[in-house]
Amino acid sequence: MRHGEVFNPDRVLYERIPGFGLSELGAAMAGTAAADLKLRHRAVTRLIASPLQRTQESALPFSKLFELDIESDERIIEPENVFAGKRMRGPNSALKSPSNWPYLLNPFRPSWGEAYRSIADRMLAAMTQAAVETESGDVVLVSHQLPIWMAHRAIARKPFIHDPRHRRCALSSVTTFELVDPARPELGLREVGYSDPAAALNAGALDVGAV
């Protein structure tokens, strides 16, 4: 699951900067996603979140509803970005400063942060390990938009280069994967579903997170 809306009145790229927690709307989004899984009678037996505040807070409703402790995994964290703390839109956008243009030279890597391949590899490793080590039931991993989208594109065997505005990964959305063959985890994962339980709340979000 992707985390809920972040309280970000200055509309900066918050990346891994501490202190960026959920807004009231974001907390409601996470609660809606947890309730949706409960209503669908999903047997959630394990809960893992990125160590960042917004993902830890998004995991709380799952922890309460399914009576699970929140584990942390650095491998599903937001990637680092040289534009952290800066505004990416509007008249003060960092993209308008010539001093930042060298970071934009290679969108295929990308040149402004961690390589797409690196993000996908660590996500797939974390997802596969969680699936293999959990004997029964579902594992909920609470992560971030770009890591989830990179896992999706890697598993779908699509190019990593993409338009961030067209990621199918809404706030508090749930993208579901499973092992192709539990007896042979080396065969990898496949995507089996996508749901947007907080869609009605997303319509009122001020910070959607995509850069």
E strand residue ranges, 27-123: 44-49, 71-72
Q: Higher-confidence residue: 76 or 91?
A: 76
| Fold of the domain spanning 24-81+115-202 | Rossmann fold (3.40.50)
CA angle 94, 96, 99 (to 5 degrees): 75
Bridging pattern class, strands 174-179 and 138-142: unpaired
pLDDT digits (tens, 9 = 90+) for 138-181: 999 999 999 999 999 999 999 999 999 899 999 999 999 999 99
Of 79, 69, 211, nearest to 144 (Cα)?
79
Three-state SS for 123-176 is HHHHHHHHHHHCCCCEEEEEECHHHHHHHHHHHCCCCCCCCHHHCCCCCCCEEE
The yes-or-no verdict on residue 209 having pLDDT over 70 is no
Question: Band of the pLDDT at 89, cuts 50, 70, 90?
Answer: confident
- Please tell me the distance from the alpha carbon of residue 110 to that of residue 113, in angstroms, as a whole number: 6
The yes-or-no verdict on residue 88 having pLDDT over 90 is no
* 45: helix, strand or coil: strand
Whole-model pTM over 0.85: yes
- Please tell me the distance from the alpha carbon of residue 68 to that of residue 78, in angstroms, as a whole number: 23
- Rounded to the nearest 10°, the torsion over CA 16, 209, 167, 34 is 90
Question: What are the boundaries of each domain within the chain?
Answer: 24-81+115-202
